[in-house]
């Protein structure tokens, strides 16, 4: 298992390893934030995963564990809403390696 995911990320986020999903989530939700903002996103996901008892993927992607084309307009993390898909994929495809490495070390 890779600790640092290979960027650019492709495929459905529901199929990504947990660390890759968390890194992408933190990158998309707190890209221009200071470290505390990135850490805050990670804590929100952790609390949801523990409180909802649904697991990591469903804490980020909703009860069905799919980000896109699931018939739901909104997901728990807005970066994985259906209407945000093109922008999320474009942003993830241009993630600089230093940021990818930083996010996976949280």
Write the DSSP symbol of residue 94: T
- Which domain covers residue 46, as residue numbers? 13-104
| Number of structural domains the chain divides into | 1
For the chain, the average pLDDT equals 78
Does the predicted model carry a pTM greater than 0.85?
Answer: no
The string of pLDDT tens digits covering residues 70-95 is 777 677 788 888 788 888 888 887 77
pLDDT at position 58 over 50: yes
Who wins on pLDDT, 45 or 97?
A: 45
Is 3 among the domain residues? no
In 3D space, the residue among 64, 46, 66 whose CA is nearest the CA of residue 56 turns out to be 46
Percentage above 70 pLDDT, the chain: 78
Distance CA 83, CA 52 (A): 25
Is 1 among the domain residues? no
């Amino acid at each position: 298992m890779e600790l640092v995911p290979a960027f650019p990320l492709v495929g459905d986020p529901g199929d990504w390893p947990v660390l890759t999903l968390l890194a992408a989530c933190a990158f998309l939700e707190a890209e221009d934030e200071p470290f505390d903002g990135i850490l805050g996103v990670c804590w929100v996901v952790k609390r949801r995963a523990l409180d909802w008892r649904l697991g990591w993927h469903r804490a980020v992607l909703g009860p069905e564990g799919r980000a896109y084309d699931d018939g739901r307009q909104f997901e728990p993390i807005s970066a994985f809403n259906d209407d945000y898909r093109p922008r999320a994929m474009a942003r993830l495809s241009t993630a600089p390696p230093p940021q990818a490495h930083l996010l996976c070390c949280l």
